[in-house]
Structure formats: C-alpha cells, structure tokens
Amino acid sequence: MDRPAISVRGIVKDFGAGQTRVRALHGITSDIYPGELTYLVGESGSGKTTLISIIAGILYPTEGSVCVFGSEIYDLRENDLVRFRLANIGFIFQQYNLIPTLTAAENASVPLVAAGMSRARAVARASETLAQLNIGDLAERLPRQLSGGQQQRVAIARALVHSPRLVVCDEPTAALDAASGRRVMDLLRAVALESERAVIIVTHDNRIFDLADRILNMEDGRIVSDGKSFPTEH
C-alpha cells in the first residue's frame, strides 16, 4: 500500500469550555491514501464536518496531530499553515461560495491570484481548467447565469486550478439534482484517480455512495466503520 497522504492521530476536538464544553471528536485515528475517493458519512452532529475541517487545516484540534503529505500541519505557524493550504489543498463547498461579481474564469482563478500570479495568466489558466471540465464555453458568465451543476463545476475548477494534492469537499452534490450530482461525482472520481490526489468528501447523499473507494462512517465523534461500501444500516 502507498504511503498515506494524510495521517490523523488521536484527534480530539472540544467546543466550548467548562460546563458547556462539548467533545465533538473522541481520538480519531485514520490514514487516507492518494488516488482514493474517501467519503466521510454520518448523521448530523456526528463530527464529520469537524473532522474534515481539521484535516483541511482550517480548525485547530484540541489534541492530536494531522500529517498532510509529510507535514505536521498544526506545527506550522498560522501564516505558514495558510500558505500550506493555498499550495496543497483544494476546497469545494456545499453552497459553492463563488464570488457573484466575478466571471466563472475569474472565480476559478482565485487561488492562483492569491498565490501571486498575475490576473491575465491566472484567468487564462483557469479558463483551461474550465475547458478540461467541459465548461470552457461558460468562462465569461457570472455565477447567477449558471445552473447549480455548472456553478459546482466552476467551484471544482477553483479547487483544482492550482493542482492541489488534497481536495476536500463538503456535500458537493447536496444542492444538485441526481443527474448533475452524478456528473460532479464522476468528475471528482476522475480527479482522484487520474492525478493520484487524495479526495475526501463529506456527504449525506446515498445516491453517490457506490462511487466511493472508501467510506468512513462516523457516529458521536468516532469512526464506527471503515470499508469499501456504505454501512447497510445507514
């Protein structure tokens, strides 16, 4: 087996303090490998969003360590962690979070611009990525001129444009119809397989469970099952 892309060791996360303290994660330990489409599933409140936020380097754990491609990310200084995210992680959000006043290509170019690339070069490269996702003809459109599926593809382009090694997705199909959701998932699967990226997806959508390489099922802040198929009781 390959070296893991992500190693999570003994992750504990508490919210609040004193008597109002709530433990969201209870010592999670797991490895995630490149070229795999990994799902995090579970009921609301099971801790999957907390876990993916910690893996993505946007939420500090209370205890434990996260090693992403050999870097202990929570040992990095805050600005170094931000730079690490920018260089290594692509984000896909449930509500897309596209900037409504930027065109599709401009939205997709944001990580490159944030990394210091010139506007013209960044937009040109983003347009190429949009074309690879078969929406090159929509490059000049604003988000409000796109359907939900098209907007999610733009969001995927934004997540991939800077060639990150880890892609994290939060409910990427939740706002899409079945056909659009399926197309998006096919795309993410291709992203994981073709370029040896680690792709982690938080989802409730059982319509797409069959596409997963691995499903981590969470309950009450613990991983209760880890397999290639989704738990039958889910």
Partner 1 sequence: MGWIALRMLTGDKVKYYGLIFGIAFSTLLIAQQSTLFVNLMLRASAAIWDVTDADIWVMDREAEQIEGTRPLPSTDLYRVRGVPGVDWAVPILRQGATVRTRGGELEQVSVIGLDDSTLIGLPKNVLKGSLADLAAPDAIFIDDVGSRKLFPGVADLIGQEIELNDRRAVIRGVVDANPSFTSGVLLYTRYSNALNYVPGTRNRMTFVLAKSAPGEPNAQVARRIESATGLKARTQQEFALDSIGYVAANTGIPINFGLTVILGFIVGVAIVGLTFSLFIRDNIKQFGALKAIGVTNGKIRGMVALQAGWIGFIGYSIGIGLATGFIMFGSTNSDTFKGFYTPWQILFGVGVAVLLMVFATGFLALRKVLKTEPAEVFR
Q: How far is the CB of 103 from partner 1 (least distance, A)?
A: 9
Residues 125-184 touching partner 1, rule: CB under 8 A, are 158, 170
Strands 166-170, 198-202: pairing kind: parallel
For partner 1, the binding residue among 102, 174, 193, 211 (CB under 8 A) is: 102
Q: How far is the CB of 50 from partner 1 (least distance, A)?
A: 8
**119 binding partner 1? (CB under 8 A):** yes
Strands 22-32, 166-170: pairing kind: unpaired
From 99-107, 125-133, 179-187, 222-230, give the range in contact with partner 1 by CB under 8 A. Answer: 99-107
From 82-90, 130-138, 181-189, 208-216, give the range in contact with partner 1 by CB under 8 A. Answer: 82-90
CA distance 9 to 66: 6
CA distance 115 to 130: 19
From 45-53, 126-134, 207-215, 219-227, give the range in contact with partner 1 by CB under 8 A. Answer: 45-53
**61 binding partner 1? (CB under 8 A):** no
Q: Pick from 153, 121, 119: which is nearest to 136 by CA? A: 153
**113 binding partner 1? (CB under 8 A):** yes
Interior CA angle at 140 toward 134 and 144, to 5°? 95
Between the CA of residue 150 and those of 66, 98, 175, 178, 202, what are the distances in Å?
33, 11, 12, 14, 20
**115 binding partner 1? (CB under 8 A):** yes
Q: How far is the CB of 91 from partner 1 (least distance, A)?
A: 5
Q: How far is the CB of 109 from partner 1 (least distance, A)?
A: 9
Strands 22-32, 6-15: pairing kind: antiparallel
Q: How far is the CB of 170 from partner 1 (least distance, A)?
A: 5
**53 binding partner 1? (CB under 8 A):** yes
For partner 1, the binding residue among 28, 32, 37, 89 (CB under 8 A) is: 89
For partner 1, the binding residue among 12, 86, 193, 211 (CB under 8 A) is: 86
Q: How far is the CB of 60 from partner 1 (least distance, A)?
A: 9
3-class DSSP state of 10: strand
**101 binding partner 1? (CB under 8 A):** yes
Quick one: 119 or 204, whose CB is closer to partner 1? 119
Count of CB atoms situated within 10 Å of the CB of 15: 12
Place of tokens 């983003």: 126
How many helices (H) and strands (E) would you count in the chain?
7, 10
